[in-house]
């Protein structure tokens, strides 16, 4: 899509923008008329993301930053506003994980995953609020997961961090409502996606890790995040597995425990042995421009009926009400005609 003549909608900041979902978000926001501030650790991916945004006719600024450093995140926000203008949207997307049984996890691994995946979203939100609250406008997106509600085996640090984000989100939203603030906050809950993380994260699994269950392309989530930025929704669920996991855990968590005990170990591994010495991005980025997609293109879908229904629920409701009105009118007309006879 040529966006060179499109009116600018605003400025978005995306954390974890160098690869995976963050990279897909950078493209999607640029396609929809936003100038993009890119935050991540990997310089090669940041350069690639900036080039793609510029190719779409939008402005882009990147800052190489670790979101676990609160001051660095805030300094990056200052730089982006100096070069692009006021930040209208902030997308907290950066994450990290370790695939490992809990009994083999190390304390510093829990600390690191929590600092990036949970505190990184907190620090990003604080930087956004610092700028948005005085203006009484703006949109903050917290990127969640079905795992924010339903923990699974082998990803305890990541699941714990996503659960923490959910609690932080509830607190933040209620405080903004109390203050009658016009700053919006939405949490987008995602399913398994075909992103680069499965080749990046630290793992102790014997085989290569993979997304569990139905896999979605990152562009599906990116579209949902752009929609969330432009509409006042509390939460958005992407993908049926997300709905199934969240609702199922509320109804029968014990059943979820049993099913995941049976399927959660094999379900998160391919049949390809993993190299125990391969590089991971827990502490440092992996060099190179890795793009948005992982290695599961053949298995991934690019459409979510659940998100389509959520996005179009007002139109659908209007249509149903309109159809109901037509049916009632037809029935009334028939009744009066019958009475006339």
Domains of the chain, by residue range, sit at 10-303
- For every residue of 190-257, DSSP letters joined together read --EE--THHHHSEE--SEEE---SSEE-HHHHHHHHHHHHHS--SEEE-SHHHHHHHHHHHH-HHHHH
Give first-to-last CA distance, the chain, whole Å: 61
Alpha carbons 221 and 227: distance in angstroms, whole number: 10
C-alpha R_g of the chain: 22
User: Among 207, 124, 192, which residue's Cα sits nearest to residue 158?
Assistant: 192
Alpha carbons 193 and 187: distance in angstroms, whole number: 17
240 given a catalytic annotation: no
Which residues partner with 203 through β-bridges?
A: 99
Fold observed for domain 10-303: Rossmann fold (3.40.50)
Q: What is the pLDDT of residue 303?
A: 84
pLDDT digits (tens, 9 = 90+) for 230-254: 999 999 999 999 999 999 999 999 9
- Active-site annotation holder among 118, 158, 216, 237: 158
pTM, two decimal places:
0.90
Helices (H), the chain: 20-31, 43-55, 70-84, 107-113, 120-135, 156-178, 197-200, 218-230, 240-251, 253-263, 305-311, 313-340
Instruction: Identify the DSSP state of 131.
Output: H
Task: Please give the mean pLDDT across all residues of the chain.
Answer: 92
pLDDT digits (tens, 9 = 90+) for 61-101: 999 999 999 999 999 999 999 999 999 999 999 999 999 99
Alpha carbons 341 and 339: distance in angstroms, whole number: 5
């Amino acid at each position: 899509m040529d966006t060179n003549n499109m009116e600018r909608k605003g400025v978005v900041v995306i954390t974890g923008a160098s690869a995976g979902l963050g990279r897909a978000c950078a493209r999607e926001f640029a396609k929809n008329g936003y100038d993009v501030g890119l935050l991540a650790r990997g310089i090669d991916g940041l350069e690639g993301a900036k080039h793609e945004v510029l190719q779409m006719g939008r402005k882009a600024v990147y800052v190489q930053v670790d979101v676990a450093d609160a001051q660095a995140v805030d300094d990056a926000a200052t730089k982006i506003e100096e070069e692009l203008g006021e930040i209208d949207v902030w997308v907290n997307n950066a994450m990290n994980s370790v695939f490992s049984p809990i009994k083999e996890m190390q304390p510093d691994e829990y600390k690191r995953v929590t600092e990036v995946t949970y505190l990184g979203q907190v620090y990003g939100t604080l930087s956004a609020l610092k700028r948005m609250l005085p203006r009484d406008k703006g949109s903050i997106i917290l990127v969640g997961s079905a795992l924010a509600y339903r923990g699974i085996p082998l990803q305890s640090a990541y699941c714990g961090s996503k659960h923490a984000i959910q609690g932080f989100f509830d607190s933040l939203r209620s405080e903004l409502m109390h203050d009658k603030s016009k700053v919006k906050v939405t949490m987008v809950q995602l399913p398994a996606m075909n992103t680069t993380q499965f080749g990046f994260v630290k793992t102790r699994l014997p085989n290569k890790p993979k997304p569990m269950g139905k896999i979605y392309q990152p562009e599906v989530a990116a579209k949902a995040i752009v929609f969330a930025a432009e509409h006042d929704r509390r939460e958005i669920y992407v993908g049926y597995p997300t709905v199934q996991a969240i609702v199922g855990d509320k109804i029968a968590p014990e059943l979820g425990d049993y099913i995941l005990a049976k399927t959660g170990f094999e379900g998160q591994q391919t049949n390809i042995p993993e190299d125990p010495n391969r590089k991971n991005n827990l502490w440092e980025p992996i060099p190179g421009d890795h793009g948005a997609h992982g290695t599961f293109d053949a298995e991934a879908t690019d459409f979510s009926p659940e998100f389509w229904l959520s996005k179009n629920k007002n139109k659908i409701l209007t249509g149903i009400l309109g159809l109901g009105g037509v049916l009632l009118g037809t029935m009334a007309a028939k009744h009066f005609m019958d009475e006339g006879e």
